[in-house]
Amino acid sequence: MTTMNLSLSATRLLGAAAILSVACMADIAHAVTKKTREAQSSAASAPKKSRSVKIKQQQNHSGETTAERDRRLYRECKGMPNAGACLGYTSR
């Protein structure tokens, strides 16, 4: 092979690589715009959800009322550190 044939082959190879890379970029760009279009259409058609938080009342399985529980904790937590279950019940 001569240098003329080698440079012509290299030029053809470089041109083919450039065409292939441009075609791949166009395909990726098409896929991205398709995804954004689908996301916009699904967001527009879906109803907005409420972001409010509902707090459920806790079940008290011990059978004591909240007033009874408060009195018991004040009685049991006298002189204890103000932490854990006794947090807020160490003094009146």
Segment 26-67, tens digit of pLDDT: 566 566 566 666 666 655 566 677 788 888 777 777 888 888
Confirm if 74 and 87 have CB atoms less than 8 A apart.
no
Confirm if 83 and 74 have CB atoms less than 8 A apart.
no
Dihedral sign for Cα atoms in the order 68, 70, 72, 75: negative
In this predicted structure, what is the pLDDT of residue 71?
92
15 vs 71, residue with greater confidence: 71
The Cα angle at residue 9 between residues 4 and 12, in degrees rounded to 5: 125
In this predicted structure, what is the pLDDT of residue 73?
92
Q: What is the mean pLDDT of residues 70-80?
A: 91
H-only helix segments in the chain: 3-45, 66-76
Q: What is the mean pLDDT of residues 4-25?
A: 68
Mean residue pLDDT of the chain comes to: 75
